[in-house]
Every structure is written in structure tokens, then in C-alpha cells.
Amino acid sequence: MFSTIWHTFFFDPIYNGLIFFIDTVPGGDVGVAIILTTIVVKTILLPLSIKASKTQKVIREIDPKIKQIKEDIKDPQKQAQAIMDLYKESGINPFASILLMFIQIPIIIALYFSVYSGGGVPLPGINTELLYSFVPSPETITMLFLGFLDIAQKSLPLAVLAGIAQFVHGHLSFPKLPPRDPNKAPSMKDDFGRNMQMQMKYVMPILIAIVAYSISAAIALYFIVSSLTAIAQELLLKRHK
């Protein structure tokens, strides 16, 4: 069951998309093929990504109402139900962002194995048994991205770029934290929320850079393109809000 889901929805589509673009791009550049594959993946996930961004925007807008509910209703169960009712009235699903994140995890894993395993034949080899009937086997394959960076190895510059791109995305996604009210004692919930936002803005880029460097240049490329497309999406949403 798991193997069928893995191959049908994740590994085989990613592997075939990667091979298709390797055959399409000049010189069979695997790095360029990874970029194009990532763009296709992000395009497919675009409706969910836009929904997640809009959800975050609405949550920020109704945050005063959520705080009021927490002040008025002390019973945890009734409080949670009231907040969920508010989400429903606002037409949002608070779990949209979490769903988007969890969907991308197997995609990243599939991309990694497509490059370094290929179902038993790592690139530059091709496992023709996994290819769809309309995907040709490339005649030329190069692991040197743009002719000088070995995509099969770790890359510190790409890892740093992945972290920077994630930082810019986080800066656009999260609003500026309001100053603390000196006349009001900070609550544990407020401190937790501020700490979570600070971690997402400053710790996450560092984590992304570390993961990108630890795994491979291929995954670093995925993170870079993913963040760049997310940045473009945020800018478009802000322009048309």
C-alpha cells in the first residue's frame, strides 16, 4: 500500500519529470532539470500554496477576535470550539499551511532518491524500467550545473543562498511584530507567539541552509527555487490584496 502510494504519487512522477527535463535542456544539465522540475511541482501546488498564504493573512486579521475569545472564554474545550467556529465563519482552514509543508517532505525525499538512487540506478545512469512510455531516455547527461558545479556533491554557496531565500520569504510572510506595551505584563501565550514567529523568521533559514548543505546541492536547488516562487507569490498577493 505505502509502496504503491510512494511510487504513484511521488517518486515515479518526480523521477520521470526530472528525466524528461534532462532530455529537454541543452547538454542534459541535471541542475537545470531540477530547477524546471521544482517549478512544475510548485505550479501544481500553487492553489494549495495560495490558500495557505491567504489563510495566514486572514488569521492575522482576526487575531484581535481570537485574543478576545481567549480572554472571555476560560474553558479550554469551549475556547477551542469558539476559535474553530471563528475560522469557519472566516472561511479558512488553519491547517492549510501544515498540509502544504507535509506534502513537500515526500517530494524532497523523492527528488533526492531520483538523483542519488534512481530506483537502483543513480544519475547519470537511467533506470528505463521506471520511465513512462512518453519519456525518452536522454542521450547526454551532465552532473555539472551550468558547467562548473557538481550537483552530486554538497555546495556551501547554494546552501547559503537557500537560507537567504528562506529568510526573505519569512520576512515577507510574517508581519512586523508590534512593540510590547510597557503598561501590560506579557502573558505566556504572547511570549510563545512572539518566540515562534522569531524562530520562523530567523531560525528556519539557518535550519534550511544546514539541511541543504548536509544533504546535497540538488536539495539546495529545490529549496532556492521553492523560496523564490513563494516570494513571487507573496509579492503578487500583496499587490492584488
Spatial CA neighbour of 47 closest among 101, 10, 100, 88: 100
In this structure, of 18-27, 58-67, 128-137, the range with the lowest mean pLDDT score is 58-67
Spatial CA neighbour of 141 closest among 121, 126, 129: 126
Is residue 44 pLDDT above 80, yes or no? Answer: yes
Rounded Cα distance, 184 and 163, in Å: 36
pTM of this structure? 0.83
Is residue 49 pLDDT above 90, yes or no? Answer: no
Residue-wise pLDDT tens digits, 153-211? 899 999 999 999 999 988 887 665 555 555 555 554 455 455 566 666 788 899 999 99
Count Cβ atoms within 10 A of the Cβ of residue 77 and give its class: 0-12 exposed, 13-18 middle, 19 or more buried.
Answer: exposed
Higher pLDDT, 162 or 80: 162
Question: What does DSSP assign to residue 145?
Answer: E
- What pLDDT is stored for residue 194 in this prediction? 53
Is residue 38 pLDDT above 70, yes or no? Answer: yes
